Amino acid sequence: MASFADTAERSTNSRAGRHAYEGTQRENVPVLIFDEPGQMAYQVARRIATLIDSRNAVGEGTVLGLPTGSTPIGVYENLIRMHRDEGLDFSRVVTFNLDEYYPMQPDGLQSYHRFMRENFFKHVNIPEANIHIPRGDLPPAEVEAYCIGYELAIERAGGLDLILLGIGRSGHIGFNEPGSGPKTRTRPVILDEITRKDAASDFFGDENVPREALTMGVGTILDAREVILMATGEHKSGIIKRAVEEPMSEEVTASYLQKHPNTTFYVDRAAASGLTREKTPWLVRDLDWDLPMAKRAIIWLSEKLDKAVLRLDTADFHSNHLHSLVYAYPDIDELCLRVFEDLRKRIVYRDGLPQNERVILFSPHPDDDVISMGGMLDKLVRNDNDVIVAYMTNGSVAVFDADVRRYLGFVEMSYQEMGLEGEALEEFHTRKQHILDFLVNKEAGQVDLDSVQRLKSSIRYAEAVAGIEVMGLTGENARFLDMPFYHTGMVKKNPIGEDDVQIVLELLAELRPHHIFVAGDLSDPHGTHRMCYNAIERALKRFNAEKPGAADAEHIPPKVWLYRGAWQEWEIYQADVFMPMSKADLARKIEAIFKHESQKDRAMFPGAYDEREFWQRARDRNTGTAEALNKLGLPEFFAAEAFVTTYEM
């Protein structure tokens, strides 16, 4: 893992100090890239803490501009720890938040007032009078004057010393949607459709998302003496590239940060993956070519020219900025053959997959197993493996209230067949009415009753069993771990704790698997995949460190397979295994996905950046992988799933 110093050396804050060999010449703003979001959050928090300490030392205050959302939570957690453990003093800090929905009551579930107090303010010693958050509860006639007053308050405080930003998928900073100019100030705005879709899961449907918001303007942000923008996840890679490498434009308001003299983008490697120096580094700097990088370049060239790998010739390399690769490997035909053979050997048919072994498939939600690796699951079962599918969360938050009403209605209409009578029937009617009354009066985003959450969990569990039954498994092959971190009844989850890790560890100790399959697509909207991954990683390290007992002389660490599919797929150059699927294989996988009826047609959390249903994503990604392999000159399949197996957790 690269150290912060190493990363900083590659991306300096001095534009004049950057050189072509660093590969940043296409970047119009300094970018620091981190291997892990946690590392990034710590360094941003450390920068803020250093600023506060330096100004406290001379008796001066610090004026901060603060954002909301999932990205800065890690920063706030680090600042809270620094306050608690290191004595970081916030008593002279003045804060101005970027934005707030309109209309929105301060105590609303989605209110940024509530978010900031729960995630930061109540844990540090910022005086109440020093906290400023735009008000979403004002009468319309008072909004304009209030926004002017917000600007004046920033000015009276001495201006923003540092402002921390996220970036929306539309490229907005704050709620400055496309079309916002560089001189705009705090004002009401109409939210873009993309922004509303991004927020839909927090409001349990985009119909509940406010159409307006109050936001600092781009000009207000540009007046700050220092700007830090943070981004994580592959779904942000496209907009980061546009904001950093393309000319300034009202279509991407974050691009205006290019004109700020002291702005730095802090991004994880996934969010940076679209930058030229990450995606195609040979276009911007000289490389010390090794075979993995040569493989990446050859796949890129083959795809760019739409020529099979074995049809590429030396002239293709010279005409596409790959002179140095030709010099490093003079026999291009031999190099292309090595890459082709490397890819060909990664195609693994059913007889090359595990047979008669113990397998755990960890599924973060009750449908990730069949969506992301239904084809592999099918073949593992057909190869007589002892397969357990471990559903890590109950998925209850993603079930619509209408599904609960539908199933209650089914039970009521079939009560005679189910043998409900007497006191049991009366109790059912009482509980049913209590639940229906709650659902009728339920506010948008309100946490469900425990009984409703349990019913929604049962719906997801029943669907999960129906899905794996398509593959020849039964309910005995399913384990519902129901991990505690998920038990909030809200979109926001608790951090992974010792109880979560222990549940995974106990399952590993009980089953002693030869193989485990783990979700590696970490860009799901609210981080459940990432949190489940973290729990497995921590448990597996402990499990692998165990010394074999007398009854278990063969304590062999399981082979880890990382799958993707729900949110993105592995790049061709990344995958270690391509598993071909026939048309019938894919049809069986889709049939299993269809069993998840509560997620069919209209899922609660489809992800804002992909309009397709999950079965369509799975179909398109699997057929797309097969098509990509075919274009490289490899055998033609109907579909294929991709896996990484050489990864060490």
- Residues marked active site are found at 177
- The answer to whether the CB of 540 falls within 8 A of the CB of 508 is yes
Q: What is the number of other CB atoms lying within 10 angstroms of the CB of residue 303?
A: 14
Three-state secondary-structure class, residue 641: strand
DSSP H helices in 442-527: 450-469, 498-511
The Cα 511–Cα 514 span in angstroms is 9
| Cα angle 402, 408, 410; round to 5 | 105
DSSP state at residue 261: T
* Backbone dihedral region for residue 539 (phi beyond 0: left; psi -120 to 50: alpha; all else: beta): alpha
CB atoms within 10 A of CB 349: 9
**Contact in structure between 140 and 251 (CB atoms under 8 Å):** no
Place of tokens 């710590």: 42
Residue 389 DSSP symbol? E
> What does DSSP assign to residue 173?
B
Please report the sign of the dihedral spanned by the C-alpha atoms of residue 563, residue 566, residue 568, residue 569.
positive
DSSP state string for 545-584? HPPP-TT-----PPEEEEE--SS----TTT-SEEEEE-HH
Gap between the Cα atoms of 390 and 369, Å rounded? 9
Instruction: Say if CB 504 and CB 535 are below 8 A apart.
Output: yes
Q: Which residues contact 19 (CB under 8 A, 6 or more apart)?
A: 25
Q: How far apart are CA 428 and CA 626, in angstroms?
A: 51
**DSSP, res 301:** H
Sheet holding 263-268, edge to edge: 31-34, 263-268, 227-231, 162-165, 62-66, 93-97, 131-132
Which residue in this structure is represented by tokens 């993995």? 292
| Cα R_g (the chain), whole angstroms | 27
What's the angle, vertex CA 527, arms to CA 522 and CA 533, rounded to 5?
Answer: 55
Please state whether beta strands 577-581 and 639-644 pair in parallel, antiparallel, or not at all (unpaired).
Answer: antiparallel
With a CB cutoff of 8 Å and minimum separation 6, the contacts of 426 are none
Continuous H helices in 208-273: 218-222, 237-245
Contacts of 521 (CB under 8 A, 6+ apart): 372, 529, 563, 564, 565, 566, 567, 568
358-363 and 386-391 beta bridge pairing: parallel
Place of tokens 């498994």: 473
